[in-house]
Amino acid sequence: MAGMSATSSEMAMTGTPSLRLERHEEGGSAIFSVIASGRWTVHDVAALAGQLDGLLAELKSGRAAGVEINLSHVERLDTAGAWLLEQAAELFRSSGLKPSYVDGREEFMILLSEIQSRSLAVQPEDRKIGAITGLLADVGRTTRGILDDMASITGFLGALTVTFGRVLMQPWRFRWTSFIHHIEHTGLRAVPIVCLICLFIGAVIMQQGAIHLRSYGASNFSVNLLGVLSLREIGVLLTAIMVAGRSGSAFTAAIGSMKMREEIDAMRTLGLDPMEVLVVPRVLALMVVLPILTFIGSIMCLIGGGIAAGYYLGLDWTAYWDRMQDIASVKHFMAGMLKTPFAAVVIGIVGCLEGMKVGGSAESLGSHVTSSVVKAIFIVIILDAIFAMFLSEVGI
């Protein structure tokens, strides 16, 4: 080395972070080095940012093509210090210089390499999505979500069937206390709200039928309309929707809360099957109470219709029930009751499955409770429509 000359201010005291520029003459060519020294940590580097412009001016005046950033005197280096060094290197690059790090400890070089890779990473450009492309993307995501839900529900149904078969083979494993508890909560306590809703809906159907059929001289046929609808559709749908909103959401909330508190993991640790302990009693309880609630709801629809018929059609109770007995055949009653076990299974599976999906936050619990109600009602309505068309085609 031919010689050395410092072109910056005096070296800072030991420990204090500093930058200085040195020029080495070697073989008739000038080599520029930026010497970093001291502690380059988050608490110490705040005052160094202003020195970069001065260093850059000195490098330009010396007509340097490249520069070495010497780390041999750096005592400590954290992420903030490494970021500032990389900012200096980036400033040199933008000015046409080619910086490189030399004489740094291994851990310093690893940290700087990571910071440099993050800084030089090409950020993806924000692409503007057209209306049609966005619509197709939404349709694709929705379709994928529906297929995933169908797969998860089918898998959960299979697991439930296997567990139910095991309980049948070993009846002493069945949780009778839990079963009776859920019968009370999903069935007995739901009777008042089901009765009230079905009573008013039956009265509304009779009132609307009487008013709109009156202009055709067929207002008496509103009794026929109410009898068929109550037994085949309205009683089943209203009851299933009320149970889905009331009991299905309760299943999701209860199981989801246990999932958040890791109680389900504790069950598995103790050798207990959550499907056997939590799901089977709930689904079987729904399969027992939903047909009973549907029967009660259908009768309340007919009673509500009888009240409205007395006001709008002038029919007394004797005439109303005599006519209803001619219309409300066992065929219509069985067509409605046939749907109830399937609706109960759907509500129970969706409610318990969404509870099992809950994560560790209250937001996740609320999201899955909402999803449980929406999915259960949607599937019940689709299932009812399929059954209605099928039974009509086979003459039931």
Segment 120-158, tens digit of pLDDT: 555 555 667 777 887 888 888 888 988 888 899 899 999
More confident residue, 269 or 98: 269
| Average per-residue pLDDT for the chain | 81
Residue 268, C-beta contacts closer than 8 angstroms, at least 6 positions apart: 274
> Higher pLDDT residue, 287 or 212?
287
Which pLDDT score, from 0 to 100, does residue 282 have? Answer: 93
243 and 387 together in one domain: yes
Q: Which residue has the higher pLDDT, 100 or 380?
A: 380
Inform me whether the pLDDT recorded for 64 exceeds 60.
no
Residue 149 lies in a domain: no
Question: What's the average model confidence in pLDDT over 159-172?
Answer: 90
> Is 358 within the bounds of a domain?
yes
376 in a structural domain:
yes
Q: Is 147 a domain residue?
A: no
pLDDT score, position 41: 72
Please give the angle made by the CA atoms of 376, 377 and 382, to the nearest 5 degrees: 100
If we measure between CA atoms, which residue out of 198, 181, 369, 210 comes closest to residue 286? 181
> Are residues 95 and 204 both part of a single domain?
no
The predicted structure's pLDDT at residue 8 = 39
| For the chain, percent of residues with pLDDT exceeding 90 | 24
Could you tell me if 72 and 210 lie in one domain?
no
Query: Which among 294, 297, 291, 286 is positioned nearest to 350, based on CA atoms?
Result: 286
Task: State the pLDDT at residue 44.
Answer: 63
Same domain, yes or no, for 105 and 222? no
More reliable by pLDDT, 44 or 37: 37
Question: What is the mean predicted confidence (pLDDT) over 320-330?
Answer: 82
Mark whether 81 and 169 lie in a shared domain.
no
Confidence class for position 297, pLDDT limits 50, 70, 90: very high
Tell me whether residue 142 is in a domain: no
Give the domain-ending residue among 61, 92, 120: 120
Indicate the pLDDT class of residue 47, thresholds 50, 70 and 90: low
98-102, strands of its sheet edge to edge:
3-6, 18-26, 29-40, 66-77, 98-102
Are 218 and 273 contained in the same domain? yes
* pLDDT band, residue 15 (cuts 50/70/90): low
| Percent share of the chain, pLDDT over 70 | 83
pLDDT value at position 300? 92
Query: So what's the pLDDT on residue 294?
Result: 93
Q: Tell me, yes or no, whether 77 and 172 share the same domain.
A: no
Residue 113 shares a structural domain with residue 164? no
* HEC per residue, the chain: CCEEEECCCCCCCCCCCEEEEEEEEECCEEEEEEEEEEEECCCCHHHHCCHHHHHHHHHHHCCCCEEEEEEEEEEEECHHHHHHHHHHHHHHHHCCCEEEEECCCHHHHHHHHHHHHHHHCCCCCCCCCCHHHHHHHHHHHHHHHHHHHHHHHHHHHHHHHHHHHHHHHCHHHCCHHHHHHHHHHHCHHHHHHHHHHHHHHHHHHHHHHHHHHHCCCCHHHHHHHHHHHHHHHHHHHHHHHHHHHHHHHHHHHHHHHHHHCCHHHHHHHCCCCHHHHHHHHHHHHHHHHHHHHHHHHHHHHHHHHHHHHHHHCCCCHHHHHHHHHHHCCHHHHHHHHCCHHHHHHHHHHHHHHHHHCCCCCHHHHHHHHHHHHHHHHHHHHHHHHHHHHHHHHCCC
Of 1-10, 93-102, 306-315, 329-338, minimum mean pLDDT range:
1-10
Give the model confidence (pLDDT) of 342-369 as tens digits: 999 999 999 999 998 888 778 888 889 9
- Sign, CA dihedral 159-164-167-168, equals negative
What confidence score (pLDDT) does residue 201 get? Answer: 92
> Last residue of a domain, which of 72, 102, 120?
120
**Structure tokens that stand for 44 in this block:** 């110490």
* pLDDT of the residue at 344: 93
Q: What angle do CA 311, 312, 314 make, to 5 degrees?
A: 65
- Please report whether residue 26 resides in a domain: yes
CA distances from 222 to 96, 309, 312 (A): 89, 9, 10
Give the per-residue pLDDT at 102: 77
Check whether 221 has a pLDDT greater than 70.
yes
Examine the domain organization and report whether 259 and 332 are in the same domain: yes
- Could you give the number of structural domains in the chain? 2
**168 and 301 assigned to the same domain:** yes
CATH of the domain at 38: 3.30.750.24
pLDDT per residue as tens digits for the range 225-234: 888 888 888 8
Work out the average pLDDT over 62-88.
Answer: 72
The residue range of the domain holding 319 is 159-393
Asked if 177 and 113 sit in the same domain, the reply is no
Last residue of a domain, one of 65, 91, 120: 120
Predicted local distance difference test score (pLDDT) of residue 284: 93
pLDDT-derived band at 196 (thresholds 50, 70, 90) equals very high
Determine the distance from the C-alpha atom of residue 76 to the mean position of all C-alpha atoms in its chain, rounded to a whole number: 45
Residue 208 in domain = yes
